[in-house]
Amino acid sequence: MGERIASANPDVAAAQELYQRDKSNLSDAYQAAKEDLEFYKGGKDQWDPADLKIRADSKRPSLTTNMLPQFVHQVVNDIRMNVPSIKVLPVDDDADLDTAKTIQGLLKNIEYTSNAPMVYDTAAENAVKCSIGFIRIDHDYVDVETFDERPLQNIVLRRVVNPLSVILDSSSIECDGCDAKHGFVLDTYTKESFEAAFPGKEPVSFDNIDGTASDLIIVAEFFKLVPTPVVIALMPDGSVLTADKAKELGIVPLKIKTVTRNKVKRQKLSGADVLEDGWFAGSYIPLVPVYGEEHWIDGKRHLFSLIRHAKDPQRMVNYWSSLETELLQKAPQSPFMGVEGAFEGHEEDWRNPGVKMTLQYKATDVNGEPIPAPVRIAPPPIPTGVINARQSAIQDMRDAMGIQQAGLGQRSNETSGIAISRRVQEGDVSNMHFGDNLNRSIAHVGRIEISMLPEIYDTPRIVRTLGEDDAPKAVGINGAKLPDQDKIFDLNVGRYDVAVIAGPSFTTRRQETQQMMTQLMQSRPELVHVIGDLMFKYSDVPGADVISERLKKTIPPQLLEDDKNQPQIPPQVIQKVQQMQQESQQLQAAVQQAQKDMAEMALKLDSKQQELESKERIALDNNQTQIAIAALNNKSTEGIALLQAQTKHIMQRLELLNDSQPIGAPAPQAAAPQTAQAGTEIPQGM
């Protein structure tokens, strides 16, 4: 490769300088990642080229038994089962929980329209396979067929199928790339497609290292943070907006001042020209890395995939499999053994018995005596060392990746279900960092989206949000308001942060809930009139929603009301219950003290120092103690009876408060005069 030819365009030359620095610093990590991808593909890439040539020249087999995909799938599919979800949290006084929930529903809708699971899964799979993946955030027009001066836009997530085509700022040290100052996305064009996309531009590759001509043109999409002064204004209500936004709203601010904010410059560059020039919404580079295992040595990041340390054991599996096949090929075919004269007249058949359907032989020898049929001699066995070495290489692969047989669903030396479960759990823990790194990156995706919201959703409009159960809801933002909407949600006010929660998807949790309620009602059929509507609500069978609505009409009204509408227990009832509980505790304490006193007196009876004349005193003491205990037990019994009577009376009142009409029963009659009403004074002797 020759010396790099710098572009005559200063903007392109400056970007190329950054690109070459990053590419040089990341070259080892990217080269290792490329080798991982080629190795994972299998075939001849899992052999050393020199060894492969030697075996091919000597016509020896070179087999590939690629065992890596099952381990990669185990880790990646475990990540897919635990769907991460972004939770939006208010930060300052201008932010509120309702707006945070609206933003969270908007981000969930962005994930839905962008097919985010595919975006996240691709990034995670690349991190597992080759140590690095990427998630890309972009924005696009809602409708291109419009004459509006400011057409509506939406935020979109895009997957990066080739992680090696993205070069992020090599000075970034954060695991989610939030501190990156610039980044590149490389794309290739043919000369024809380049000239059609950028008419009048010179077809020169951005990555023009040696200046040689090529049929493919590399175009770089370049993102760079540019510190920009921004005038902010303090509104009368205490909120802070940009001065331009305050002027647009016609509000006179209390104060204004100039601050510095990062804006994102976005360009498309060839090796000769700036093909496109503009700005990107938000204040972060919209390229989010998903790293594998990370190590830092002498200030340089080193990345490792799941399969990096298992490549040599995989090569040994291929070698021993090939050697086993080679030995079987070289082993002579099992010959037949027979007495002299047995093959006379059928010599050609027995020279190549594999092509014959029937084999004949003479039943007598040269002397005319009867002879047995020819028998095949057993071939030499495969050396056990070869078989054992192959099994050891497979175990080395498991150890290198931390996934044992139980983790792959295979039978191993674990016998109990608990032992198998623990071994599977240990395998999950050993590779948990892959899923954890994805969650951190998704959290940064949420921050980037939140920073983009004021610029992308900058006008009054109606947007769709999604709830936790994926139920859609239309919401007016930035001044727009629906008829049934109580609050105006302004995405330009307040600061918000995000957290990522990983766990089973809502669909999985809904199925678990439905299964739990089904089992509960099998044991308690009467609960169908309490939670029957919920059981069908979380069911996926056709018509479940209709059944749920019909059952809901049979549920007692008070069970469907909010807690704030439920009848409240009178304060005097609560106070009486608390008083009864205190008396009960006092009675129990008195009984325990009496038992303690009896134990102490029993110890005194064992003392040898007691004289005969003291027996009467001891008897008197025992008699007094028994009388005291009897009186105390009598008091305790009366107290407990009183407590039971009071509790029964209170329960009757509570039943009256919560009394519901059974299905098909006539309307309830007025309460009997003798029944105590809620709120009446409790008699002292109850």
For 589, the token pair is 């304490």
Residue 194 lies in a domain: yes
Report whether pLDDT(267) > 60: yes
Residue 538 lies in a domain: yes
Residue 355 lies in a domain: yes
pLDDT confidence tier of residue 633, bands split at 50, 70 and 90: low
For 128, the token pair is 């597992």
Query: Same structural domain for residues 79 and 201?
Result: yes
Query: Same structural domain for residues 54 and 91?
Result: yes
| Spatial distance between the Cα atoms of 45 and 315, rounded to a whole number of angstroms | 10
Report whether pLDDT(78) > 90: no
Residue 372 lies in a domain: yes
129-153 pLDDT, tens digit per residue, is 999 999 999 998 877 666 566 778 8
506-534 pLDDT, tens digit per residue, is 555 556 666 676 776 677 776 776 766 77
pLDDT confidence tier of residue 558, bands split at 50, 70 and 90: low
Residue pair 489/475 in contact by the 8 Å Cβ criterion: yes
Q: What is the pTM of this model?
A: 0.68
CA distances from 176 to 179, 514, 555 (A): 8, 37, 50
Q: Can you name the residues that pair with 182 across neighbouring β-strands?
A: 224
CA distances from 645 to 81, 100, 533, 652, 653 (A): 55, 51, 37, 11, 13
Closest-CA residue to 355 (of 373, 333, 328): 333
Residue 523 lies in a domain: yes
- Calculate mean pLDDT across residues 285-307: 94
pLDDT confidence tier of residue 409, bands split at 50, 70 and 90: low
pLDDT confidence tier of residue 157, bands split at 50, 70 and 90: very high
For 418, the token pair is 């608990």
- More confident of the two residues 125 and 375: 125
CA distances from 73 to 218, 467, 504 (A): 33, 30, 18
Which residue type sits at 449?
Answer: E
Report whether pLDDT(578) > 90: no
Query: Same structural domain for residues 293 and 345?
Result: no
pLDDT confidence tier of residue 469, bands split at 50, 70 and 90: confident
Query: Same structural domain for residues 518 and 584?
Result: no
pLDDT of residue 683: 39
CA distances from 1 to 5, 13, 269, 492 (A): 11, 19, 22, 51
- More confident of the two residues 3 and 55: 55
Report whether pLDDT(49) > 70: yes
pLDDT of residue 338: 74
Query: Same structural domain for residues 156 and 280?
Result: yes
Residue 324 lies in a domain: no
- Calculate mean pLDDT across residues 347-365: 74
How many helices (H) and strands (E) in the chain?
19, 17
pLDDT confidence tier of residue 677, bands split at 50, 70 and 90: very low
Query: Same structural domain for residues 135 and 238?
Result: yes
Query: Same structural domain for residues 244 and 123?
Result: yes
Query: Same structural domain for residues 131 and 35?
Result: yes
What proportion of the chain, given as a percentage, has pLDDT over 70?
A: 68
For 71, the token pair is 């381990």
Residue pair 110/275 in contact by the 8 Å Cβ criterion: no
Query: Same structural domain for residues 543 and 576?
Result: no
pLDDT of residue 275: 95
Average pLDDT, the chain: 78
For the residues of 571-594, what is the DSSP string, one character each?
Answer: HHHHHHHHHHHHHHHHHHHHHHHH
Say which range, 224-238, 311-325, 639-653, has the weakest mean pLDDT. Answer: 639-653
Query: Same structural domain for residues 58 and 76?
Result: yes
SS3 316: helix
SS3 366: coil
Residue 277 lies in a domain: yes
Query: Same structural domain for residues 134 and 264?
Result: yes
pLDDT of residue 665: 43
pLDDT confidence tier of residue 591, bands split at 50, 70 and 90: low
Residue 443 lies in a domain: no
Report whether pLDDT(565) > 50: no
Instruction: Name the residue with tokens 């921004």.
Output: 230
**R_g over Cα of the chain:** 41
The residue segments making up the domain with residue 290 are 10-306
Contacts for 285 with CB less than 8 Å, ≥ 6 apart: 168, 169, 177, 180, 181, 182, 183, 223, 225, 264
pLDDT of residue 368: 79
Decide which of 353, 377, 401 is a domain's last residue: 377
Say which range, 182-186, 271-275, 360-364, 586-590, has the weakest mean pLDDT. Answer: 586-590
The separation between CA 25 and the C-alpha centre of its own chain, rounded to angstroms, equals: 32
| Spatial distance between the Cα atoms of 455 and 190, rounded to a whole number of angstroms | 35
Query: Same structural domain for residues 41 and 166?
Result: yes
pLDDT of residue 440: 93
Closest-CA residue to 314 (of 398, 388, 431, 387): 398
- More confident of the two residues 478 and 19: 19
| Spatial distance between the Cα atoms of 678 and 86, rounded to a whole number of angstroms | 47
Decide which of 254, 281, 306 is a domain's last residue: 306
| Spatial distance between the Cα atoms of 232 and 480, rounded to a whole number of angstroms | 24
Domain count, the chain: 4
pLDDT of residue 659: 54
Q: Within 608-682, where are the H helices?
A: 615-657
**Structural element, H or E, at residue 466:** strand 461-466
Closest-CA residue to 17 (of 27, 28, 7): 7
- More confident of the two residues 631 and 531: 531
SS3 229: strand
- More confident of the two residues 540 and 299: 299
Going by DSSP bridges, is the β-strand pair 153-159/274-280 parallel, antiparallel, or unpaired? unpaired
| Spatial distance between the Cα atoms of 659 and 679, rounded to a whole number of angstroms | 16
